[in-house]
């Protein structure tokens, strides 16, 4: 591995990014219009709303829920969500007695098509190391206090498996439709650092 240590470290990383983009554009390796389209897509269209639609459908359609648990990527694609980092999505279900929480200990693997790009805390070294060692404490610090008899499983995402949590449907929402459930589902609940609250 090369390093970029030395005098150039003092130059702004923004300039270095721009320099690389210029060189790649001049060599025809990237098309700025295509690249701008990708950035706009991830800034505006790809986000946790997609995952919330998946969860709300799973809550209201038992057949879909089963397909989602059997083959996450395929069931998610049924709703039109696919693309980079959308391969190998495995969905795990949180219940009253079992709680899954997702991390990527080595980098920041994350199911982009359903959650968008990861938030800064997901990429942070402290979260990535501590959630494995002391999940109950970290979840509590993040505002989620779980009873001692709830079993916590930490799911480590990799390029082979990207985990998505199917949160527990909150009590008191039995009368709500799929469309009404969507806004209740937060990104944090689909990573497993929060629960879905009743409206």
Partner 1 sequence: MTAPLDIEGPAAPPRSNGELVFAEPWESRAFGMAVCLYEAGAFTWPEFQAALIARIAAWEAGADQDQPYNYYRLWLAALEDVLVGLRAVSTDEVTTRTHALAQRPQGHDHRDHPDDHDHPH
To the query of whether residue 109 is one of the catalytic residues in this protein, the response is: yes
Site membership for partner 1, residue 30 (CB under 8 A) = yes
Residue by residue, what is the 3-state secondary structure of the chain? CCCCCCHHHHCCHHHHHHHHHHHHHHCCCCCHHHHHHHHHHHHHCCCHHHHHHHHHHHHHCHHHHHHHHHCHHHHHHHCCCCCCCCCCEEEEECCCCEEEEEECCCCCCCCHHHHCCCCHHHHCHHHHHHHHHCHHHHHHHCCCCCCCCCEEEEEECCCCCEEEEECCCCCCCCCCCHHHHHHHCCHHHHHCCCCCCCC
The window from 31-39, 55-63, 66-74, 163-171 that contacts partner 1 (CB under 8 A) reads 31-39
Site membership for partner 1, residue 116 (CB under 8 A) = yes
Which residue in 82, 108, 129, 159 is the catalytic one? 108
Smaller CB distance to partner 1: residue 84 or 96? 84
Which residues carry a binding-site annotation for Fe(3+)?
Answer: 104, 107-109
To the query of whether residue 107 is one of the catalytic residues in this protein, the response is: yes
Site membership for partner 1, residue 172 (CB under 8 A) = no
Shortest distance (Å) from residue 31 CB to partner 1: 7
Site membership for partner 1, residue 140 (CB under 8 A) = no
Site membership for partner 1, residue 77 (CB under 8 A) = no
Taking the C-alpha atoms of residue 183 and residue 40, their distance in angstroms, rounded to an integer, is: 23
Which residue in 107, 129, 140, 159 is the catalytic one? 107
Chain residues in the site for partner 1 (CB under 8 A): 1-2, 4, 8-9, 11-24, 27, 29-32, 34-36, 38-39, 42-43, 47-48, 84-85, 106-109, 116-117, 119-121, 123-127, 129-130, 138, 141-143, 159, 186-188, 193
């Amino acid at each position: 591995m090369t390093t970029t240590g030395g005098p150039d470290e003092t130059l702004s990383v923004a300039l270095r990014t721009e320099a690389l983009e210029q060189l790649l554009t001049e060599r025809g390796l990237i098309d700025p219009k295509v690249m701008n389209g990708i950035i706009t897509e991830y800034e505006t269209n790809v986000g946790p709303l997609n995952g919330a639609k998946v969860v709300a459908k799973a809550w209201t359609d038992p057949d879909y829920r089963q397909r989602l648990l059997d083959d996450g990527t395929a069931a998610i694609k049924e709703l039109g969500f696919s693309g980079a980092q959308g391969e190998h999505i495995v969905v795990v279900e949180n219940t009253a007695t079992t709680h899954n929480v997702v991390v990527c200990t080595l980098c920041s693997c994350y199911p982009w098509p359903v959650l968008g790009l990861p938030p800064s805390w997901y990429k942070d070294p402290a979260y990535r190391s501590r959630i494995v060692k002391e999940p109950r404490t970290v979840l509590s610090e993040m505002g989620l206090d779980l009873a001692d008899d709830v079993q916590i499983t930490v799911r480590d995402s990799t390029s082979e498996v990207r985990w998505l949590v199917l949160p527990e449907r909150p009590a008191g929402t039995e009368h709500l439709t799929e469309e009404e459930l969507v806004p209740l589902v937060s990104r944090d609940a689909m990573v497993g650092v929060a629960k879905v609250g009743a409206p």
